[in-house]
Amino acid sequence: MIETMEELKKTCKECKKCRLCETRTNVVFGTGNENAEVLFIGEGPGENEDLQGEPFVGRGGKLLDKMLNAVDLDRKKNIYIANMVKCRPPKNRDPLPDEQEACIGYLRNQVKIIKPKIIVCLGRVSAIRIIKKDMKITKEHGIFFERNGVIMMATLHPAALLRDPRKKPEAFEDFQKLRDKIKEICTSTY
């Protein structure tokens, strides 16, 4: 375990533990408030994220910011956003099991530093890895689970909402449930 976020970031930026290091432009470590009570976990960087070194900065990121802001969350203030793998998989394919295995330690270390009360998985891939392996995102998004004292929920991935905008109201409902849960168990987010 690395004790500080700064040190962990430095290690991660130099990482060559899996093949994704060969094709990346930037390592996308994560962003936000390292004392946040709420942590969002995406799948892995896409093209824009790889180019800018920041998570969720493309069209999906804009939509995510909109949904966050609708419930008074702000990536610069009261949440942290990270991905399961820190380097972009070529052509935005799903990260392979061995790549996830190589990278997940960094996320676990981030979780140990942040100590979030609530984790929100963005999309199926992170929900399966983090909440439960048979997670059915279409049926089980917006439901709260508990793992080692941490409350977890999955919501639909912003990219999925861009592909099928009819699902947006369901995602907004998840964010409303999240706001209620934050009000119930968090003390410094709002």
Contacting positions for ligand SF4 (CB under 6 A): 12, 15-18, 20-21, 27, 85-87, 99, 102-103
Nearer to ligand URA, 28 or 137 (CB): 28
Query: Nearest to ligand URA by Cβ — which residue?
Result: 42
Could you tell me the CA-to-CA distances from 5 to 31, 56, 138, 170 in Å, in that order?
10, 19, 34, 34
Of the two residues 42 and 142, which places its CB atom closer to ligand URA in the complex?
42
Nearest to 52 by CA among 76, 28, 21: 28
Question: Least CB distance from residue 63 to ligand URA, whole Å?
Answer: 11
* Closest separation in Å from C-beta 125 to ligand URA: 8
Q: Which residues, including other chains, have CB under 8 Å from residue 49's CB and lie 6 or more apart?
A: 28, 55, 56, 57, 58, 61, 83, 88
Between 20 and 38, name the residue whose CB sits nearer to ligand SF4: 20
Residues in the chain, overall count? 190
Longest dimension (CA), the chain: 44
Q: Of ligand SF4, ligand URA, none, which one does residue 39 interact with (CB within 5 to 8 Å by kind)?
A: none
Q: How far is the CB of 30 from ligand URA (least distance, A)?
A: 9
State the nearest-atom distance from the C-beta of 27 to ligand URA, in Å: 12
Q: Please classify residue 30 by burial: count the beta carbons closer than 10 Å to its beta carbon, then call 0-12 exposed, 13-18 middle and 19+ buried.
A: buried
C-beta closer to ligand SF4: residue 123 or 142: 123
Helix and strand totals (H; E) in the chain? 8, 6
Kindly state the smallest distance separating residue 67's Cβ from ligand SF4, in Å.
26
**Contact residues for ligand URA (CB under 6 A)?**
28, 42-46, 49, 55-56, 60, 83, 122
What is the enclosing helix (H) or strand (E) of 153? strand 150-155
**Which residues, in sequence order, are bridge partners of residue 56?**
none
Nearer to ligand URA, 32 or 55 (CB): 55
Residue 167 binding partner per list ligand SF4, ligand URA, none, with a CB distance cut-off of 5 to 8 Å that depends on partner kind: none
